[in-house]
Amino acid sequence: MEDTIRGKAFVLGDDIDTDQIIPAHHLVYSLSDPEERNLYGKYALSGAPIEQSGLPEGNIPFVAEGETITKYPIIIGGKNFGCGSSREHAPFALREAGVRVVVAEFYARIFFRNSVNGGYLIPYETPQRLVEEIRTGDEIEVSLIENEIRNLTTGKKYALKPLGDILPILEAGDVFAYAKERNLIG
């Protein structure tokens, strides 16, 4: 796992639920077929409530028309990110779209666990409300060593809560790789 993740930010608000992250009608695609896996990326964050309410910077598509990978590898969210159903497809879809890290005030617990257990995303928490500090398109750098996010566009820095006990799982790749490394499973 890299020590620093850098890229453009995509800023969302509070209570982004799993149906907004990957609408239920897109759950028909195979997770094992490479062509169909791409569709999870293509349709990530395409839920109607996001489109209708508009985004902080206007109605900017998360994944450009005809693409399957976003130009925004870092998502900045507000409170209760990933609420709704327990589908593990939500963090999977974000990963397939090219997201590496989500920074939110706090997560729905099942989304957080699915992100970590599957090794899909790095779910950082922030003690500050960054959705009002960072704008979609800002160039961001997240340091896993310093537990810090830097907005390279504005020059501001913000502390992140340490990853703690989940860091070894993320470093291993997922919960099963972690368990195998530690001889917890055969």
Is residue 167 in some structural domain? no
Structural domain for 19, as ranges: 4-161
Residue 1 confidence class, pLDDT cut points 50, 70, 90: confident
CATH of the domain at 35: 3.20.19.10
Is residue 60 in some structural domain? yes
CB contact at 8 A, 101 and 121? yes
Q: Can you give the pTM of this predicted structure?
A: 0.94
In tens, the pLDDT along 107-157 reads 999 999 999 999 999 999 999 999 999 999 999 999 999 999 999 999 999
Edge-first strand order for the sheet with 139-143 is 122-125, 101-104, 74-76, 4-11, 139-143, 148-151, 156-159
In tens, the pLDDT along 59-117 reads 788 999 999 999 999 999 999 999 988 788 999 999 999 999 999 999 999 999 999 99
Is residue 48 in some structural domain? yes
- Amino acid letter, residue 16: I
Is residue 64 in some structural domain? yes
Q: Report helix, strand or coil for 17.
A: strand
Is residue 12 in some structural domain? yes
Is residue 176 in some structural domain? no
Number of domains in the chain: 1
**Strand residue runs (E) in the chain:** 4-11, 74-76, 101-104, 122-125, 139-143, 148-151, 156-159
Using DSSP bridges, classify how beta strands 156-159 and 139-143 pair: parallel, antiparallel or unpaired.
unpaired
Is residue 41 in some structural domain? yes
Q: What is the DSSP letter of 162?
A: -
